[in-house]
Every structure is written in C-alpha cells, then in structure tokens.
C-alpha cells in the first residue's frame, strides 16, 4: 500500500518537521515526530494548510517497541490524509497535549487518558470522559495487559464535577440520563438565567460497550459482525467503513457491482435517516403533521430496506470483499418506482414544513453554530455543511461507487437496464414552494445539473451559511434530493459481474483506515491486524464524536425549551459515540 | 328538586363527558395528521389505569405535594359546577358568580404549582414558572371577557349572563379573546403542547411529572374537566343557541339544550384539533405576545361596549 512519495507529501513532511513513514492508505502522508514537537507539528498542519483533525489513534505497542504510539490523522483540504505519529515511552506514559493549540483534539486525548492511561500534559480538562466515576483508577481497558474476561470491581469515587456558573439568578438544570421519551441515555447540565441558556455541558458515554476491546483478537469476519452493531441507524455505514479498511489491508477491492450495491445501500441509509430526521425536527417545534408524515415515509423507506436486504437497518448487506446480496433487475425497477413515489411525497412534506411560517420561525436563528467554531471543533456532516463548511467524504475521499463511476463501468463493460429497455425516469425535483426569506433557494450545488453516480469533482455537496436549525433542515432536504437522484442513476447503470472478491486471512502485521459519509457525517475506522490474521487494534471515530461538542457550543443564548429542537437538528448518536 | 336534578346532570356532563371530549380531540388530531389514532374512549381507559395504580411519592415531597391534587380537583370541579350548560340556569344558582369562578380556577392552579415546586424537581419548577407566567397574562383576559358579558345585564351571575346573543362589536372582540383563553387554558399548541415527551419544553405537563398512580389520574381527569369547563363557558356566553330557558323549561327544551350543548362542544373540540395540527408551538418568549393579544381584545371589547353600544 505504499504510496509514491509525491512532492505535496514532501511539503507536508517538511512543514511538520517529521520523518516520513510508509503510508497506509493511498493519499496519506505519514510522519513520525519526537514527542516534544508533537503539538507544534499538529498546529502547523492545522493552521498552515487548514487541516481538520479526523481521528487520533492510541496504541499499546509495549510488547513490540516498548512504548505506546499516538497517531493524529488529519484530513487535508486537497483531499489527502496526513498522519503525525509519536512514541510515548512505557515508563513515563505522558505526552504534551495538542488540545491547547488544536481544540479539536480535546476529547481524543481525554479518551486516550481513560483507555490507555496516557497523560496529556497541559490539557485544560482532565476529568474522566469515557469511563465514569465508578471505574477504578489505574485500570486502563485498552492496554494489552487488561483482560476483559475478568470483571472489574466498581468503586465509590468522587462524583463528576460539572463546570458551574455562579451568580444571581443562575440556576442549574440537570436533564437525564433518563428522559421522558424513549431515547438513548445522556446527561445535559444547563446553566440558565430564567429561560436563557448560559452554558451547556453534556455528559455522555453511558452506552460504552467496550467494542474496541471486544473486537481485539477476533478474526476479520467476526469483527464485521461487531462493527455492524456499533449503532442501529448507521449500521451499514459502519459495516462498509470496516469492510473498506479490511479490504485496504488485504489489498483487494470490492467488484464494481458490489461497489454500486454498497452505494445504493448507503444512500438508502441516508434517506431513511434524513427523511425521519426532517420529520423529527418538527417534533421539536410541536408541528405534529410533519412528525407524523416524516415517520410514515421513514417507515416506508425502512420497509424497502427490508425487502432489499432482509433487514430494516440494512444489516448483513456488506461483507469483506463485496456484498452478500444482489439487487436483481426486477426488484431494482420496483425500488426505483417506489423511491420516485416516496421522493414525490417527501417533496410534499417539505413544502408543507417550509410553508409553515410558525415552524420556520422557530427554526430560524435558533441554535447557530458559527462556521469558525465548527472548523475549530472539527465538525463533520450536516452540522458542518449547514455552517458553510464544504466537506463530504463521498466527494473528498471517494469510495464504493462514488469513486470514479465511469472508470469502474468502463472496466466492466456491461451495464444493466430496466427490463423494458427504457431509461429510468428522472427523480422528480423536490418541491419547496413557500420557503420565504431566502430559504426557498436551492442550496448551493444541490440542484441543476444531472447527478452522475461518479464521485470526485462533480459530486453535489449542498451547503448553507446560516448555521442555524433551519439551515440544517434545508441541507438535509437538499441531500435527500441528491440521494434519490443518485440511487436512480446507480440503478440505471448497474455493472454486471461478481458480488464479492475472494480473500485469505492476512499473514503479516498491517494497518489501514477508511472513511465513509454516514447520514451523520464522516465515519472513520482505523484497523490493524497482526501476523496471526486477527485484529490487533480497532479505533472507531463516528461522526457523532467530533459533533457532540458542537451541540453544546450551539446551545448558549437560546431558550431552554429550544434545546430539544437544537439537539434534533444535529441528530447525533449516543451509541456510536460511546462504542 | 329541579336544582338537584340539574346539578346531577351537570356532574354527569362535566365529569363524565370530559374524557370523551379529550378522546374526540385526540382522535381528530390523529386523523388530521394522517394517523389512525387512539380509540375515542382511550382517555377513560387511561384514567381507569392510573386510578388503579399505586402512587410513588418522592421522599423529598412534603404534605403540600400530597394534598395539592385534592385542592386542584376540588377547585376545578367547583368551577365546573358554576357554568350553565344545558339550560341558562347555573346548577348552583346564587353561587354561580364570575368572580368566584376565576377565584376557584386560580386556587386550583396555585395548588398545583406549589406541588410542582415542592419536590424540588427541575421540570416541576420550570413547568410551574411557565404556567404561572402564562396565568398572569391570561387571567386579565378572562376577567375582561366575563366583564363584557356581565356589563349589559349588570350582573356577574352566570345564570343572568348566559344566553345573551353576542353579535355586537364588543361581543365579537370578546369572542376573539375567549378563543385565545381556551387555547391557553387547555394547554394546547401554539401555547403549550399536551402530547410532548420533551421535558424541557413542558409547561402544564411539567408540573405533573412527579405524580403517579391515583393522584396523577385525578389531576389528569380534573385537567380534562377544566378543558370542558372553558369550552362550556364560551358556549354559554357566545353560542347560547338551543339552551333551555332560565325558568320552568319543558323536558323537550332540556333535551334540545343537551343535544345542542354536546354538538357545540364537539365542534369547538374539532376546531382546537385543527388549530393544533396546522401550526407549530410558539417560541416560549413569543407566547406572551399571543396571550397579551387576548387582554388587548378584552380591553377593546370593554371600550366598544361603552363607545359603540348605547
């Protein structure tokens, strides 16, 4: 997998002042720096080329090299990756914190401290993050000498200290982790004056299942079963990301037909999430008609998922090397018609939501996430695109059928057509009559030119500048239109060929990572296998991980009763944050 | 004897039909939103379920929390008995005073707000604070509306006030104020959302979060009685057609009155469902604008009474 050392790579290497290592995935520049220069190296990459911290992977390599390894991976705006690594000695497990210079690193470093016992020196907030108060001190679950089969006795400890504000009329409002509705557990601590939020501190990680530890020592196939169950609503995204990382290690590629089927599945996943979320956002403002129809359309999409894959959450579709299920021509035609109908009805629903002045009034200027703050926190997905950040993994790091669709098809020759030989009907444009106040305009890049299945430059990425709840709704609506069109285009031009590539378990130590654009944004999985062919280390950075701090940042200045709406507009996942 | 029968009828209507009206509104809302919705009689089942269940009381709660539901229920049932429904005659005759009515409602609200504060739960406190804020704005509007009805007859007794056809300028303005009062007092969108599970957005529901079992059932029932009371009041003041006369009604007139009353409250229930399904809830700081509008309409109506009418 060693990439050719190109000149931009040398530039990045010189900028960071590190020593070049062989890259793990195409387009990655990987350097190792001395521990003391780590924060500075990260800062020059972020400030110098506008990189975004994409993940941070800590590893316990004491058995092999006598030290821990930290690897900070950045997404470079020109669509490459940059990894800065350093060794943390086993006898003094501490490292200079990157957080003061690169705020996006704050949760990664706290997690490394909880899970590996690596002390980030100079980190502004050294409270527990992942392991809560009752976890004993000095027990670090992701170290290799921790045996997960032995139960860990829980301890009494000082309760977690929230940041508090003091002053006349300031009240603390604790909410959760149990809620009146059936949602995932999470605690939110508000400081408010009357109904105005001054500060919000979320405390999450109540659903930590130790997945990264659980998967160690498992075979690649077994690992997929676990990866697919990280979260319900992004199952396929997680599965595909894992499969792609494994394929990268194995040096294989999913056949073109499998790539297209994966992309169709991924877009179906985006559709049922976005459609359901658009309806759910109406629940935040009490617009009950929107809620009811959003739920109805979401269920119709999930039934379609079940017809397609046998599972409403699209589980079991992706396999290492390709897919397990074919999409036959008849069902593809049926799905195409069904999707065209749902697209039309979703158009009616969005016209109703955007036409409801009372609804839009609640959403406008509510929960504003400023673009510079979103950049500093490394926000991804809808939250980033609604704050003017133009990023989408499907375009920036194309995978599956978003990679150059044309070349994949040419290589394979044949394309599938509808049984009657006709081209499939184009997806109807999303109706959005009565938007009002400039919201009626189609988001940048979303409409207009025909959508090709291929990724790369032409891939439409809707963005908005406002950063409020309404912008996040509108970005979702625009993305739904893109997804509907994309699926139709993919169905119309399905390449023939095998569904899965064969592979044998790896026999050498190797690592790779892969990213996909889940409905919530970029999911990044980092995977390493050892010479026995089992998983040595697995690091999941779901889209919710960098986005949760943005929810807390968007709340102050809003009314307390507007928080559920703001939270729904980001629609993040607790389970795939916690793992 | 006649008064006693009238009172029994009133109890039957107010207490017995209140859950049915709630069921009707819920069913209409569901149908308007494209859902099947709960059966019409579901509120009765919910109440039966709650009344059978044991009550769990927080160890932080004092006697206030335990006795508040009794005051709440008593206050609202008392208020419900004052309003003329089938006939123009109020079952409690001489006691049926508009000022007593307002006082009983305020007492009930005060008791529940105290109970919500008593446990020290945040949502109770937030709910109580919002409910009292809304109340401070909506009570003047109620007083003004009742004043409009009282002025022409020079009496604040409901039996005298009811039955006045209200198609004057003052009457129409007061009707507008009353419409807003009903929405606010029944805790409906766009002021409050009775169906939400989002604790942070709750007003009335927030005050009930700590209750369970029988007290919860009682409070839910009484809240349904409050809803039908306000609808009945607006019917008596502004849509009096078909009401049996004040003195010596025939059986036929009473039956007509009953049918007309049921038809009118059902109609208003459907209108409420339509409003709830067509708009979103207001931002909490915008709700006072709407409630203030009710008071403004009330003041205009009082002025119109003197300026326009002779």
Tokens 């509108």 belong to residue: A474
B280 CB neighbours in chain A (<8 A) are: 282, 285-287, 356, 358-359, 361-362
Q: Record the tokens describing residue A300, joined without a space.
A: 């119709």
For chain A, the distance separating the N- and C-terminal CA atoms, rounded to the nearest angstrom, is 29
In the predicted structure, residue A14 carries a pLDDT above the cut 50: yes
Handedness of CA B199, B200, B202, B203 (dihedral sign): positive
Measured CA to CA, the distance from residue B195 to residue A46 in angstroms comes to 47
Q: Does B250 touch chain A (CB under 8 A)?
A: no
Residues in A 340-369 with any Cβ partner in B closer than 8 A: 356, 358-359, 361-362
The chain-wide mean pLDDT, for chain B, equals: 89
d(CA B136, CA A412): 74
pLDDT band for A451, please (50, 70, 90 cuts): very low
Question: Does the pLDDT value for residue A79 go beyond 80?
Answer: yes
A26 φ, ψ (degrees, to nearest 5): -60, 140
B195 lies within 8 A of chain A by CB: yes
Cα separations (Å) of A117 from A92, A212, A281? Answer: 10, 16, 40
Task: Give the three-state DSSP class for A95.
Answer: strand
pLDDT above 70 as % of chain A = 89
Strand order across the beta sheet in which A196-203 lies: A170-175, A187-193, A196-203
CA distance A262 to A260: 5
Asked if the C-beta of B199 comes within 8 angstroms of chain A's C-beta atoms, the answer is yes
**CB atoms inside a 10 Å sphere around CB B78:** 18
- A4: exposed, middle or buried (Cβ count in 10 Å: 0-12, 13-18, 19+): exposed
Per-residue confidence (pLDDT) for residue A427, from 0 to 100: 36
Regarding beta strands A80-89 and A52-61, do their DSSP bridges make them parallel or antiparallel, or are they unpaired? unpaired
CA B278 – CA A358 distance, rounded (Å): 9
What are the structure tokens assigned to B17, written together?
Answer: 């039909």
Pairing of strands A94-96, A535-541: unpaired
CB A92 within 8 A of CB A76: no
pLDDT in tens, A465-481: 999 999 999 999 999 99
CB-side neighbour CA atoms (13 Å) of A293 = 21
CB neighbour list of residue B16: distance below 8 Å, 6 or more residues apart: none
> What are residue A56's phi and psi, to 5 degrees?
-135, 125
pLDDT reading at A405 higher than 60:
no
Token look-up 């196939």 returns A221
Among A293, A561, A564, the residue with its CB nearest the CB of B284 is: A561
Q: B132 burial class (0-12, 13-18, 19+ CB within 10 angstroms)? A: middle
pLDDT of A425 reads: 36
pLDDT digits (tens, 9 = 90+) for A290-320: 999 999 999 999 999 999 999 999 999 999 9
* pLDDT tens by residue, A50-74: 899 999 999 999 988 889 999 999 9
C-alpha B237/C-alpha B145 separation (Å) is: 9
DSSP A444: B
Residue of A174, A180, A568 to mutate, interface with B, max B Cβ within 10 Å: A180
Ordered per-residue pLDDT tens for chain B, 310 residues: 777 888 898 889 899 999 999 999 999 999 998 899 999 999 999 999 999 999 988 888 899 999 999 999 999 999 999 998 888 888 887 788 889 999 999 999 999 999 999 988 888 888 898 989 999 999 999 999 888 888 888 888 888 888 766 678 888 888 899 999 999 988 888 888 888 888 888 888 888 888 999 999 999 999 999 999 999 999 988 888 888 888 888 889 889 999 999 999 999 999 999 998 888 888 888 888 899 999 999 999 888 888 875 4
Mutating which of B200, B278, B281 best tests the A interface, going by the most A Cβ atoms within 10 A?
A: B200
A289 touches chain B (CB under 8 A): yes
Count CA atoms closer than 13 A to A523's CA, side-chain side: 33
Per-residue pLDDT tens for A91-105?
989 999 999 999 999
- The distance between the two most distant Cα atoms of chain B, rounded to a whole number of Å, is 61
- pLDDT score at B225: 94
Q: By mean pLDDT, which of A183-192, A242-251, A392-401, A425-434 is the weakest?
A: A425-434
Q: Please report, for residues A88, A116, A389, the alpha-carbon distance to residue A64 in angstroms, rounded to integers and kept in the order given.
A: 13, 16, 41
End-to-end CA distance of chain B: 40
- Among A173, A292, A564, select the one facing B198 at the smallest CB separation: A564
Which of A288, A292, A293 is closest, CB to CB, to B276? Answer: A288
Candidates A315, A146, A309, A305; CA nearest to A242 is: A315
Please tell me the distance in Å from A179's CA to the nearest CA on chain B: 8
CA distance B242 to A144: 84
CB A470 within 8 A of CB A437: no
Write down the pLDDT at residue A423: 38
Coil, strand or helix at A32: strand
Q: Which of residues 222-241 of B touch A (CB under 8 A)?
A: none
DSSP labels, A323-357: ES----HHHHHHHHHHHHHHHHHHHHHHHHHHH-H
Asked if B243 and B84 count as a contact pair (C-beta separation under 8 A), the reply is: yes
Question: Looking at A185-235, which runs of residues are DSSP E strands?
Answer: 187-193, 196-203
pLDDT at position A408 over 50: no
Residue A163 in 3-state DSSP?
Answer: coil
Lowest mean pLDDT among A107-111, A439-443, B63-67, B281-285: A439-443
Of A570, A421, A27, nearest in space to A248 by CA: A27
- Nearest CB partner across the interface for B193, out of A286, A359, A563: A286
In angstroms, the separation between the Cα of residue A202 and the nearest Cα of chain B is 15
- Does position A3 have pLDDT exceeding 90, yes or no? no
B13 DSSP 8-state letter? I
The length of chain A in residues reads: 579
Do residue B34 and residue A289 have CB atoms under 8 angstroms apart?
A: yes
Tokens of B41: 């009689």
Q: Tell me how far apart the 2 most distant CA atoms of chain A are, in Å.
A: 74
Radius of gyration of chain B, Cα coordinates, nearest whole angstrom: 19
Q: Quote the CA–CA distance of B235 and A350 in Å, as a whole number.
A: 38
pLDDT of residue A414 exceeding 80: no
- Specify the pLDDT at position A440: 35
Looking at residue A279, the DSSP 8-state letter turns out to be H
What is the pLDDT at residue A169? 85
Q: Which of A444-453, A496-505, A519-528, B254-263 has the lowest mean pLDDT?
A: A444-453
Backbone angles phi, psi at A89, to 5 degrees: -60, 145
Q: Which of B198, B216, B277, B282 to mutate to test the interface with A (most CBs of A within 10 A)?
A: B198
pLDDT at A349: 93
Whether residue A192 contacts residue A168, with contact meaning beta carbons closer than 8 Å, is answered with no
CA–CA distance, B74 with A548 (Å, rounded to integer): 47
Query: What is d(CA A388, CA A475) in angstroms, rounded to the nearest whole number?
Result: 10
pTM for this prediction:
0.85
Candidate ranges A88-97, A172-181, A426-435; pick with highest mean pLDDT = A88-97
Round the average pLDDT of chain A to a whole number and report it.
85
Q: In terms of DSSP H, where are the helices of chain B?
A: 2-11, 17-32, 42-52, 63-82, 98-118, 122-153, 158-161, 169-185, 204-208, 213-238, 251-278, 287-307
3-class secondary-structure state, position A72: strand
């Amino acid at each position: 997998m060693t990439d050719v050392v190109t000149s931009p790579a040398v530039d990045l290497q010189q900028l960071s002042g590190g020593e070049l290592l062989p890259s793990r995935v195409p387009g990655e520049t990987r350097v190792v720096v001395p521990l003391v220069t780590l924060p500075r190296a990260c800062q020059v990459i972020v400030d110098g080329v506008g990189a975004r911290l994409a993940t941070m992977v800590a590893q316990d390599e004491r058995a092999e090299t006598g030290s821990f390894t930290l690897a900070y991976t950045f997404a470079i705006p020109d669509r490459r990756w940059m990894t800065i690594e350093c060794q943390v000695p086993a006898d003094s497990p501490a490292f200079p914190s990157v957080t003061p210079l690169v705020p996006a690193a704050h949760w990664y470093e706290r997690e490394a401290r909880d899970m590996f016992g690596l002390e980030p020196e100079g980190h502004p907030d050294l409270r527990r993050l992942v392991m809560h108060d009752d976890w004993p001190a000095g027990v670090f679950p992701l170290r290799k000498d921790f045996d997960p089969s032995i139960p860990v006795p829980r301890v009494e400890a000082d309760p977690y200290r929230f940041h508090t504000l003091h002053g006349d009329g300031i009240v603390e409002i604790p909410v959760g982790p149990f809620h009146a509705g059936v949602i995932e557990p999470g605690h939110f601590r508000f400081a408010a004056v009357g109904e105005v939020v001054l500060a919000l501190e979320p405390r999450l990680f109540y659903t930590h299942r130790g997945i990264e530890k659980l998967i160690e020592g498992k075979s690649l196939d077994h690992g997929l079963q676990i990866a697919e169950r990280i979260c319900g609503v992004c199952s396929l995204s997680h599965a595909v990301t894992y499969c792609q990382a494994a394929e990268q290690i194995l040096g294989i590629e999913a056949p073109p037909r499998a790539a297209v089927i994966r992309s169709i599945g991924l877009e179906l996943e985006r559709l049922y999430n976005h459609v359901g979320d658009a309806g759910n956002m109406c629940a935040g403002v009490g617009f009950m008609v929107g809620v009811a129809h959003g739920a109805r359309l979401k269920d119709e999409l999930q039934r379609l998922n079940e017809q397609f894959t046998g599972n409403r959450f699209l589980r079991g579709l992706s396999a290492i090397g390709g897919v397990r299920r074919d999409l036959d021509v008849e069902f593809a035609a049926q799905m195409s018609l069904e999707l065209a109908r749902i697209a039309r009805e979703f158009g009616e629903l969005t016209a109703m939501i955007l036409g409801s002045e009372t609804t839009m009034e609640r959403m406008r200027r509510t929960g504003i996430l400023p673009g510079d703050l979103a950049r500093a926190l490394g926000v991804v997905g809808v939250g980033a695109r609604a704050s003017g950040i133009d990023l989408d993994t499907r375009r920036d790091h194309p995978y599956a059928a978003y990679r150059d669709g044309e070349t994949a098809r040419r290589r394979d020759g044949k394309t599938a057509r509808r049984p009657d030989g006709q081209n499939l009907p184009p997806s109807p444009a999303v109706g959005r009559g009565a938007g009002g106040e400039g919201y009626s305009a189609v988001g940048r890049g979303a409409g207009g030119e025909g959508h090709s299945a291929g990724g790369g430059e032409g891939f439409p990425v809707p963005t908005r500048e406002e950063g409020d709840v309404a912008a996040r709704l509108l970005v979702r609506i625009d993305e739904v239109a893109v997804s509907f069109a994309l699926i139709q285009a993919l169905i119309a031009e399905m390449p023939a060929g095998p569904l899965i590539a064969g592979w044998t378990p790896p026999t050498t130590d190797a690592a790779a990572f892969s990213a996909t654009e889940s409905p919530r944004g970029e999911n990044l999985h980092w995977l390493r296998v050892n010479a026995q062919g089992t998983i040595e280390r697995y690091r999941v950075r779901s889209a919710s991980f960098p986005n949760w701090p943005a929810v807390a940042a968007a709340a102050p200045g809003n009314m307390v009763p507007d928080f559920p709406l703001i939270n729904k507009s980001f629609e993040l996942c607790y389970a795939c944050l916690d793992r | 004897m006649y008064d006693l029968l009238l009172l029994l009828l009133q109890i039957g209507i107010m207490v017995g039909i209140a859950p049915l009206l709630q069921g009707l509104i819920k069913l209409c809302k569901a149908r308007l939103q494209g859902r099947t919705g709960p059966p019409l009689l579901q509120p009765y089942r919910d109440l039966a379920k709650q009344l059978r269940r044991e009550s769990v009381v927080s160890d932080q709660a004092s006697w206030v929390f335990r006795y508040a539901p009794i005051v709440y229920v008593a206050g609202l049932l008392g208020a419900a008995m004052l309003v003329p429904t089938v006939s123009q005659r109020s079952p409690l005759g001489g006691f049926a005073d508009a000022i007593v009515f307002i006082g009983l409602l305020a007492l009930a609200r005060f008791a529940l707000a105290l109970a919500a504060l008593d446990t020290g739960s945040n949502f109770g406190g937030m709910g109580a604070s919002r409910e009292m804020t809304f109340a401070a704005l909506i009570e003047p509007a109620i007083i003004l509306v009742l004043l409009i009805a009282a002025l022409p007859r020079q009496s604040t007794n409901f039996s005298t006030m009811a039955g006045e056809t209200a198609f004057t300028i003052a009457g129409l303005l007061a009707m507008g104020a009353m419409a807003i009062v009903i929405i606010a007092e029944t805790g409906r969108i766009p002021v409050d959302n009775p169906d939400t599970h989002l604790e942070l957005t709750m007003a009335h529901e927030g005050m009930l979060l700590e209750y369970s079992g029988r007290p919860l059932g009682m409070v839910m029932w009484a809240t349904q009685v409050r809803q039908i009371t306000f609808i009945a009041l607006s019917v008596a003041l502004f849509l009096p057609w078909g009401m049996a006369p004040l003195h010596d009604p025939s059986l036929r007139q009473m039956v007509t009155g009953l049918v007309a009353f049921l038809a009118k409250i059902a109609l208003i229930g459907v209108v409420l469902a339509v409003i709830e399904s067509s708009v979103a809830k207001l931002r909490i700081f915008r709700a006072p604008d709407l409630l203030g509008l009710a008071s403004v309409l009330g003041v205009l109506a009082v002025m119109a009474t003197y300026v326009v009418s002779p």
